Structures are given as C-alpha cells and as structure tokens.
Structure 1
C-alpha cells in the first residue's frame, strides 16, 4: 500500500465547493509530485432529452465554457505542479469520473467538493459526490469550503 498519490483527479464546475477542492488538490499534488487532472463533465442527459430540437450549438457552447473554465484553473502549473491535464467529457458526472476517467488516468485519488444540495434535490437527482464515493476504486477526498 503506497502512501503517496501519483494521479489526482479534481472535479471543476465553477462552484465555491470546486474551488476549495481545487486548492486542496494543488496542495496534495505538490506534496506528492503528482499529475493533476482537472475534469469537467458536461451532463449529456440534458442534451439527449432535447435532441429533437438540435441543440448542437448549445453543446458547443457548453464545451467551450468547460474548456475555458479548466484553462483558468490550469494556473496550478504555476503553483509548482509540472503535469496538469484538462479533461472535458460528456455524460453523467458521477459515472464518467469513476468508470471512465479514473481508469484511463490510473487515478489513485479523486477530490471533489461537497455538494450544497438539499434533501429533496439529493432524492430527485442524486449527489455527484455521493455517486463518486460509492463507485470509486480509489481514495476519495470530499472538501468543504
């Protein structure tokens, strides 16, 4: 069992919780000389429900926004981290992060912000953070702002 992390995923969505998770991820990545993978998942379930209306332009804008957001966070490189990757994908965030990205980058730590959803929202849509905790094959750190 290794006590260091080499591939760290941090979910970035523009929220204050994600900002706190990012700051913690930078600290941990620096201490471990790890690669930091900045991830934004565009929830494709929204677009698939509206596909009949040809929302490809909205999808394109969402992808441009996500890429721009992650580029802003890539400032981690200037904080002493040599390897920072940006990953933008479509899908259900809680499954894409754990089933797809974590396996692809051989993640040993996923860092995410605590969600601010109330009980009703959690019941209806489920918490991305809870989904990650339940399905991840590696350590998960939940950061509160």
Structure 2
C-alpha cells in the first residue's frame, strides 16, 4: 500500500531550493489525488526586526507583500497544473517552530516538503538550519528536497546566480 498524504506544507522563502520543494509538492499532490491540499507558508522571522531601534512597520509590510506576491505566483502555477486545493499564509515568528510545530498541528499536516537549504546562511552557521530543525522535531513526515523534478542534483550556486532576479 502506498502512503497517501492529505495535507502537505511547503515553506516558501524565495530560494531556489524552496521552488524545487514546491514543484515536487505539486507532483506529490497530483499523485495523491484531488482531495490533497497544499499549504504554502512564508514565515517572517520577527527576530530579524528586534534589533532595529526605530522599528518600522513599513519594512514588515514590504516583506509581507513580497512574500504574498511570490506565493500568488506559486498558487497560479499549481492551479494550472491541476491542483484544486491550495492556500497560503504569511506567518510571523520563529520559522523553525512555526514550520515544525505550530502549523502542522493547526492544519493537520501529514507531510512537510522543504528545501535542503534556504536563504539565511548566517543563521545556518550560527544556530543551525530551519530544515535541520524541522527534520529533527516535526511530528509528521518530512521530505527534504535536494533534486529537481528529474531527480538530478540541484543547480550549484554559480548556476543559479540569476535565479532570484528571474522571479
């Protein structure tokens, strides 16, 4: 018997790896049937704004708007692929706990599909990656995406230099 996933969470941070995770999540959702739901999330790390002396809500609004536009593009792409049930949200807090604990419990997530690395290399060096934390602590299955749709290794840093400019 094949495992059927009903609620798939895909963290989106604008990275190439997150896009690979999204594309594979669409493929998994299509294989799992029309009742499968995709949940896209972008978590605004509020800790990044704690050290700014003159906290400017315009900054948070700009980050939120950029995240929403990115996810709107993904939603459109998923619908064109045949996904009927897809939603998105922008959450605020610590990405690790929002992705690994809060949203899975709140949404009944049974699979998290997450890119192998995200955008924040400094945080990864200092306190560990979000992906590592999610794989270690989530109560549901976690699929770490390291390859493209043809299961070929993801592009190297040099090969994807223009990725974010092309989005």
Normalised by the size of structure 1, how large is the TM-score?
Answer: 0.91
Q: Which residue of 2 aligns with 1:142?
A: 144
Structure 1 residue aligned with 2:8: 8
What is the alpha-carbon distance in structure 2 between the residues aligned to residue 82 and residue 120 of structure 1?
Answer: 37
Structure 1 moving runs of 4+ over 6 Å:
none
In structure 2, the gaps of 5 or more residues are 147-153, 155-167
Distance 1:104 1:2, change over 3 A: farther
* Cα distance change of structure 1 residues 140 and 47 upon mapping to structure 2, 3 Å threshold: same
Question: Number of matched residues?
Answer: 144
Q: 1:121 offset after TM fit, Å?
A: 5.4
Once the two structures are TM-superposed, the CA of residue 54 in structure 1 deviates from its matched residue by 2.3
Query: Which residue of structure 1 lines up, in the alignment, with residue 62 of structure 2?
Result: 61
Query: Once the 2 structures are TM-superposed, how far is the Cα of residue 128 of structure 1 from its aligned partner?
Result: 0.6
Residue 48 of structure 1 and its aligned partner are, at CA, apart by 1.9
Residue 19 (structure 1) aligned with residue 25 (structure 2): no
Range moving further from structure 2, 32-41 or 122-131: 122-131
Shift of 1:10: 0.6
CA shift, 1:78, in A, is 1.6
In the alignment, structure 1 segments of 5+ residues that lack a partner are none
Q: Deviations over 1:41-77 (max 9, x none)?
A: 1111011222x30221100101111111100111201
CA distance in 2, matches of 1:61, 1:99: 26
Measure the CA separation in 2 of the matches of 1:109 and 1:83.
15
**Between structures 1 and 2, the one with greater helix share:** 1
After superposition, the CA RMSD in angstroms is 2.1
Please list, as runs of the form range in 1=range in 2, the aligned pairs for 1:107-118 lying within 5 A after superposition: 107-115=109-117
Give the TM-score normalised by structure 2.
Answer: 0.80
2:82 is the counterpart of 1:80: yes
